[in-house]
């Protein structure tokens, strides 16, 4: 039996050994509900998703969520943020970018939104209100360790700053390029490693 809308019970054929997928599907529908994806889900937009254990019919919007990779982009310069978003989505159209204008907005976002779908944060080092080092210090002081990698992306070449961000638990320090082509290549390398090779979830 197919669910009629988000949160509905999912029926799995008794011959299928995939009972464990029930909880996974409930998570998908819960995510769809929280992101206000409209139901009902029984419609022509249903397309199959196959696994070795069972075949399910899921709404196309939920399937997109399953394949999407979510990046929090913390950058005070709106021009750079727009450029980074455009380049990331050219690299992979499935990447979803949430722009946060400084470290304070990042901390508020982390406290007010579920982070299960966040795969990576790319954060500028120097920002007004709260910069990258201040964010990392705040997280450490509260003994908070996000489940996703935090990359500090900066044009700074100060050895002390680089050392400090690693001491505070940053996953990587990436030098921000000055030209668009190198900028795109840097983002491509970030995506290849942190969202593919090193992806744990």
Question: Do 58 and 95 share a domain, yes or no?
Answer: no
**Mean pLDDT lowest among 15-19, 132-136, 159-163, 170-174:** 15-19
Residue 196 has what pLDDT?
A: 81
From 50, 67, 84, give the residue that closes a domain: 67
Question: Do 83 and 144 share a domain, yes or no?
Answer: yes
Domains of the chain: total: 2
From 67, 90, 112, give the residue that closes a domain: 67
From 67, 88, 106, give the residue that closes a domain: 67
Does residue 92 surpass a pLDDT of 50? Answer: yes
Question: Do 149 and 105 share a domain, yes or no?
Answer: yes
Phi and psi at residue 17, to the nearest 5°: -85, 15
pTM: 0.66
Question: Do 109 and 36 share a domain, yes or no?
Answer: no
Question: Do 55 and 3 share a domain, yes or no?
Answer: yes
Question: Do 81 and 44 share a domain, yes or no?
Answer: no
Question: Do 10 and 75 share a domain, yes or no?
Answer: no
* Cα(57)–Cα(41) distance, integer angstroms: 10
Residue 70 has what pLDDT?
A: 95
Residue 184 has what pLDDT?
A: 96
Question: Do 7 and 53 share a domain, yes or no?
Answer: yes
> DSSP letter string over 87-141?
HHHHH-TTEEEEEESSHHHHHHHHHHS--TTEEEEEEESS-SSS-HHHHHHHHHH
Question: Do 61 and 73 share a domain, yes or no?
Answer: no
Phi and psi at residue 21, to the nearest 5°: -75, -15
Encode pLDDT of 22-51 as tens digits.
444 455 455 555 555 444 443 333 334 444
Question: Do 60 and 73 share a domain, yes or no?
Answer: no
Q: How far is CA 123 from CA 73, 107, 157, 172, 174, in A?
A: 6, 12, 16, 10, 10
Structural domain including 17 reads 1-67
Closest CA to 201 of 27, 43, 40, 35: 27
- Mean pLDDT, residues 127-148 taken together: 93
Residue 117 has what pLDDT?
A: 87
CA angle 142, 191, 141 (to 5 degrees): 5
Closest CA to 168 of 144, 185, 200, 198: 144
CATH of residue 125's domain is 3.40.50.2300
Q: How far is CA 113 from CA 12, 16, 35, 51, in A?
A: 31, 35, 11, 30
Q: Is 176 helix (H, G, I), strand (E, B) or coil?
A: coil
**Residues in the chain, total:** 201
Residue 199 has what pLDDT?
A: 55
Question: Do 38 and 124 share a domain, yes or no?
Answer: no
Closest CA to 49 of 23, 28, 71: 28
Question: Do 76 and 57 share a domain, yes or no?
Answer: no
Higher pLDDT, 66 or 131: 131
- Cβ atoms of residues 150 and 121 within 8 Å: yes
């Amino acid at each position: 039996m197919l669910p009629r809308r988000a949160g509905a019970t999912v029926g799995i054929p008794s011959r299928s050994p995939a009972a464990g997928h029930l909880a996974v599907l409930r998570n998908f529908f819960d995510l769809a509900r929280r992101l206000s994806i409209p139901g009902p889900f029984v419609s022509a937009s249903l397309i199959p998703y196959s696994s070795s254990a069972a075949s399910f019919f899921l709404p196309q919007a939920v399937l997109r969520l399953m394949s999407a990779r979510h990046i929090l982009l913390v950058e005070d310069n709106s021009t750079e943020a727009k450029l980074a978003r455009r380049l990331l989505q050219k690299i992979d159209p499935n990447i979803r970018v949430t722009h946060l204008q400084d470290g304070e907005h990042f901390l508020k976002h982390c406290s007010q939104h579920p982070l299960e779908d966040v795969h990576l944060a790319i954060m500028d080092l120097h920002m007004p209100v709260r910069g990258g080092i201040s964010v990392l210090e705040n997280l450490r002081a509260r003994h908070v360790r996000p489940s996703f990698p935090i990359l500090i992306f900066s044009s700074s070449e100060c050895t002390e700053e680089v050392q400090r961000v690693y001491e505070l638990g940053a996953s990587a320090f990436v030098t921000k390029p000055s030209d668009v082509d190198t900028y795109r290549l840097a983002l491509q390398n970030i995506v290849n490693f942190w969202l593919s090779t090193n992806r744990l979830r």
